[in-house]
Amino acid sequence: MALVACAGSRHVRWAAGNGNILNWEAAGAIGEIIGALGVIVSLVYLASQIRIQNRESRLAAVSEWTNQWNAFSVSFAEHPVLSEIWARGTQDLSSLNPTEVVQFYAQVGRFFRVAEGLHEQFTDGRLDPKTWRGFERTVQDIASLPGAKVWWARRSHWHSDSFAGFVTPFIDSRDPQRMYSEREPS
């Protein structure tokens, strides 16, 4: 290919070996096409990176709430006195002294706060429905306990309307579970 400038011509032409001539306008158009393809490739790459980052962000958020849930559960294994207060309080708040009521209320509040966080992750599409189902069943069971019902009647206003709308039907409609007062068969 050779560069040929014609005197008096406003175009510089590229002469190919086969005799075809390419002017600056055609070369510019080809450059624009190549540039546009570069932009498209860059946008596709950027979109894939954003998708990966969003997925990682969702996983991190769900992992954090799952860790909170596990920490709540572990607290009972690590503190037998707390377990005993929880077991009595869920069945009958009047069986607790004032200090135990504070401890029980703190644990019920923690339970519902963690459950609300997981509920938000689920409603925002960041928590898989299969995973949520296990948490949901636990919320149903805990919300049906007499002590949790009393706590909810006094403190549900601490939670979002969305979460309150999710929990209140369980508070109102389920027969109390006896999950902590029954012994497993030997």
Average predicted confidence (pLDDT) for the chain: 82
Q: Which residue ranges make up each domain of the chain? A: 60-173
| Distance (Å, whole) CA 99 – CA 136 | 30
Question: Could you tell me the two tokens for 3?
Answer: 């560069």
Q: For the segment 62-117, what is each residue's pLDDT rounded down to a tens digit?
A: 777 778 888 888 888 899 999 999 999 999 999 999 999 999 999 999 999 999 99
- Pick from 67, 144, 156: nearest CA to 105: 156
Q: What angle do CA 50, 133, 161 make, to 5 degrees?
A: 75
Q: What is the pLDDT of residue 185?
A: 47
Which residues partner with 23 through β-bridges? Answer: 13
Please report, as a single letter, which amino acid is at residue 53: Q
Single pTM value for the model: 0.65
Q: For the segment 126-151, what is each residue's pLDDT rounded down to a tens digit?
A: 888 888 898 899 899 999 999 999 99
| Distance (Å, whole) CA 56 – CA 63 | 10
Q: What is the pLDDT of residue 161?
A: 95
Tell me: pLDDT of 53 over 90.
no
- Pick from 135, 165, 141, 140: nearest CA to 127: 135
- Pick from 118, 160, 121, 124: nearest CA to 139: 118
